[in-house]
Amino acid sequence: MSGSAQDTRFLLQNLMEHMTDNIYFKDRESCFIMVNQSFARWAGICKEEVIGKTDFDLFASAHAQQAYDDEQRIIATGQPIIGVEEKETWEDGRITWVSSTKMPLKDEDGNIIGTFGVSRDITDHKEAELRAAYYAEQVSKIKDEMEEDVRMAAELQKTFFPRTYPVYPANVSEEESTFDFQHYYNPSGGVSGDFCTIYQLSENEVGIFLCDVMGHGVRAALVTALICALVEETALVETDPGTFLGRMNTMLLPILRQEDIFLYATACYMLLDMKTGKLRFANAGHPVPLHFQALEKKAAWLMDDPGLRGPALAIAEGMAFQTLERDIAVGDSVVMYTDGLYEVMGADDEELGEEKLLATASRLFGDRLRDAFPVLVEEIRSQSAAGAFDDDICMVGFRRRKA
C-alpha cells in the first residue's frame, strides 16, 4: 500500500475513532463488520464483541426488525435514509433516541455489499421534547377545563340578571304596565364585575340596583355573586336607599378588605314608587345616572351635584350615603350605567368621558329603552378609536309610560 493510501487510511481511522457519533458498517445480512469506539460504548460491549452480531442481539425485536427492514430496502434500492429519528428499545428495556443516516455500502466496482450508518445520540433532547409536549398537552387540558369553567360561570352569572320586569298595576302585561323596565349587559370577557337587578318589593314599589366591582374576570365575577345574595337579603329589610348602601358597605368591608385583598365596588340603588312616580336613590361612588326629561326634550344628570355620589363600597367603615328624591314625569326615563360605557379612547387619544356620553344620550331621549340601549352603545363604539369597548358594560333603567 502506498504511503498516500496509508496516510488516508490513518486519517480516516483516527476520524472514525474520535468522533462522538456512532459509526457502523454491516454486510448484506445486516451483520456488523466494523464499528467505532463510540458505537461500542453506546452498545455497552467491546468493539470486537459487536462484530458478527445483528441488531437482534442488541435491541428489542420490534426495533431490530424495523432496522433490518430499512437496511434491506437500502440494499435493494440503493436509496439512503437521511436524518431520521429512531427510537431504540434495548433488550434490558432501556430506551434511547438517535438521529440516523444510513447509506448503501459499495465495493470498488459499485456493487452494493452492505450498509453503513452514522447515528447521533439525541436522547436528552428528545426526552426534553417529549416532556415539553406532555406539559403542553397538560396545560392545554387545564386551559380547556378553565375555559369550560368560565363558560359555565358566565351562564350562571347571566341568571343573576332580570329575566322578567315588574308591572303596575298588578296582573297587566309588561307592555301595558305604567313603567317600562329594561337592562343591557355586555361583558368584555366571559364573566364580569358588572351586575344589575330589579326587585318588585311590593305591589307598587320596585328596587333597582347596579354595581361595578373593581377589576375584571373571575375574581370580580365572584364578588358580584356575593353582592347578588346580599342585595336580595338587604332589600327586604332596608327601605331607605342610603341606609341600604350603608348596610351593604358594612357587610362587604370585612370580606373585601383583607391583608392580601384590595377590592371595592361602586353602586347605585333606587326605590321607585310606580303608583306615584316618586324616585328615591343613593349613590356609592358610581357614575351619576342619566335623566331623560320628556318635557324639556333633553338628557340631564339625575344628581345636580356630582359630589353627592358618595364613597365606593368596602373602602372604609361607617360611611354614610345620602338619599335623594326625584319625581319622574310621564315620558321621562332614568338610566344607570357602568363606567365602561364612556371610558373609551376617541380618535383624539382622549377619553370619551361623561359629558360626551350625556351629549350622545341627549339625542335618544324619545326612544324606548329597548331600542335606545343598543343604539347608544353603537354610537359610542363608533366614536372610539379602537371601535370596541375595553371594559364591561351594564345599563339598567326605566321609562314612565303613563300616569
Architecture of domain 3-121: 2-Layer Sandwich (3.30)
Judge whether 17 and 110 are in contact, CB under 8 Å.
no
At 366 the pLDDT is 65
Residue bearing cell 438517535? 98
At 365 the pLDDT is 65
At 255 the pLDDT is 87
Dist. CA 188–CA 201, nearest whole Å: 31
Judged by DSSP in three states, 21 sits in coil
Judge whether 35 and 24 are in contact, CB under 8 Å.
yes
At 156 the pLDDT is 82
DSSP state of 288: P
At 309 the pLDDT is 85
At 63 the pLDDT is 86
Judged by DSSP in three states, 79 sits in coil
CATH number of 160-400: 3.60.40.10
Judge whether 315 and 356 are in contact, CB under 8 Å.
no
Q: What is the pairing mode between strands 265-273 and 205-213? A: antiparallel
Q: Which of 286, 336, 338 is nearest to 315 (CA)?
A: 286
Name beta bridge partners: 22: 119
Dist. CA 99–CA 125, nearest whole Å: 11
Shared fold status for 3-121 and 160-400: no
- Run means of pLDDT, 10 residues per run, the chain, 403 residues: 59 74 93 92 87 92 91 94 88 87 92 93 87 87 81 82 93 92 89 92 96 86 90 92 96 84 91 97 96 90 85 93 96 95 84 89 77 89 84 94 90
pTM score > 0.85 for this model?
no
Q: Tell me the CA end-to-end span of the chain in Å, nearest whole number.
A: 121
Residue bearing cell 496516510? 7
**Which H or E run contains 83?**
strand 81-89
Dist. CA 120–CA 135, nearest whole Å: 26
Residue bearing cell 458505537? 39
Can you give the C-alpha Rg of the chain in angstroms? Answer: 39
Beta strands in 122-264 (DSSP E): 179-186, 194-200, 205-213, 257-258, 261-262
Residue spans of the domains in the chain: they are 3-121, 125-158, 160-400
Q: Which of 43, 2, 7 is nearest to 24 (CA)?
A: 43
At 330 the pLDDT is 95
Half-sphere CA count of 344, side-chain side, radius 13 A: 26
Q: What is the pairing mode between strands 333-337 and 324-327? A: unpaired
